[in-house]
Amino acid sequence: MRNAHEIDYKIFGDDMQLVEIELDTQESVIAEAGAMTYMEEGIEVKTIFGDGSEQDKSLMGMLVGAGKRLVTGESLFMTVFTHLGQGKSRVSFSAPYPGKIIPMDLSEYNGKIICQKDSFLCAAKGVSIGIAMTKRLGAGFFGGEGFILQKLEGDGLVFVHAGGTIVEKELKPGELLRVDTGCLVAMTQDVDYDIQMVKGIKSMIFGGEGLFYAALRGPGKVWLQSLPLSRLANRIYMASTQAGGQSVDQGSILGGLGNLFQE
């Protein structure tokens, strides 16, 4: 029997997805603030301190849990959606930028998944959201996602979001996979994670792939994304600075050259 609430779900959309959670009476789902899209009648919204997993109900336990969320850069509070009416009711949560929503049943992964700190979207109540310290300091100082990764623990359903196209890789024992640090979405707890420096001066300076990459060694499963939020934000910033803060007709054949003929 699960400790977390047993919830049903349906994912809608393709590139801009949302997940609709179906709740029975007294069932709950937890989510980050601002993720909710719509909810039906009978659902009560409550802001709680920490993640609501109730693994440690003492005051100190709640403070530690909230402190872990603060260290990851998240809010001290989370939102709980509980169905208090009769029958079934639904609440949905949408992805923050183009990509895919990945459902994961933690009971199928020995109760733990390691993921990027910004990838968590929502989960069945009873799932614990904490921090996972990487084994090596190098991964913390130079890994694109920082020293602290997020860990999701429990036996319930969780939903994480990733940008662009999602690729799942099953690594055999000892198998090595090297990826851009920002493209790592999640991995099972058995995967060994480290940061390695790109070899060669020219590759480091002119390669355009950064100075470091993540080295993932099996056994275990990893989820990768083709469009990290940091990469998307960087491209938007570069486009805006190249435009000089002015509106540019990108669809025109002349493009920015049209500005040469303006008075």
How much is the pLDDT for 2?
75
Tell me the three state secondary structure of residue 65: helix
Using the predicted structure, report yes or no on whether residue 72 has a pLDDT greater than 70.
no
Judge whether residue 16 has pLDDT over 70.
yes
130 close to 58: Cβ distance less than 8 angstroms: no
> Which pLDDT score is estimated for 254?
43
CA geometry: angle 40, 30, 4, nearest 5 deg: 110
The tens digit of pLDDT for each residue in 138-164 reads: 544 444 444 568 899 999 999 999 998
Q: What is the pLDDT of residue 36?
A: 94
Lowest mean pLDDT among 11-20, 64-73, 85-94, 151-160: 64-73
Q: Would you state the pLDDT for residue 249?
A: 47
The DSSP H or E segment spanning 176 is strand 176-179
In-domain check, residue 249: no
Residues 197-217: tens digit of each pLDDT: 766 545 445 444 456 788 899
Ramachandran angles phi, psi of 205, nearest 5° = -85, -40
What is the predicted pLDDT for the residue at 30?
Answer: 94
DSSP string, 190-213: TSEEEEEEPSSHHHHHHSSS-SEE
* Residue 80 belongs to some domain of the structure: yes
Which of 182, 183, 181 minimizes the C-alpha distance to 215? 181
Specify the pairing of strand 89-94 against strand 36-39.
antiparallel
263 found inside a domain: no
For 74, the 3-state DSSP assignment is coil
pLDDT in tens, 79-138: 999 999 999 999 999 988 889 999 999 999 999 999 987 889 999 999 988 887 655 545
Which of 183, 90, 81, 195 has its CA nearest to residue 142? Answer: 195
Non-local CB neighbours of 258 within 8 Å, separated by 6+ positions: 249, 252
Q: List the beta bridge partners of residue 81.
A: 29, 45
Structure tokens at 254: 């002349």
**pLDDT value of position 217:** 95
Provide mean pLDDT across the span 59-73. Answer: 57
Residue 261, in any domain of the structure: no
DSSP letter at 108 equals: G
Q: How is the chain split among helix, strand and coil, in percent rounded to 5?
A: 20, 40, 40
Residue 135, classed as helix, strand or coil, is: coil
Are the CB atoms for 202 and 162 separated by under 8 Å? no
Residue 253 in any domain: the answer is: no
CATH of residue 167's domain is 3.60.160.10
d(CA 147, CA 90): 37
> 218 lies in a domain?
yes
| 250 assigned to some structural domain | no
* Residue 77: predicted pLDDT: 77
Among left, alpha and beta (phi > 0; psi -120 to 50; other), residue 211 is: alpha
Range of the domain at 163: 8-235
Name the one residue in this structure whose structure tokens are 């939020």.
Answer: 229
Q: How many domains does the chain have?
A: 1
Q: Running DSSP on this structure, what letter comes out for residue 109?
A: G
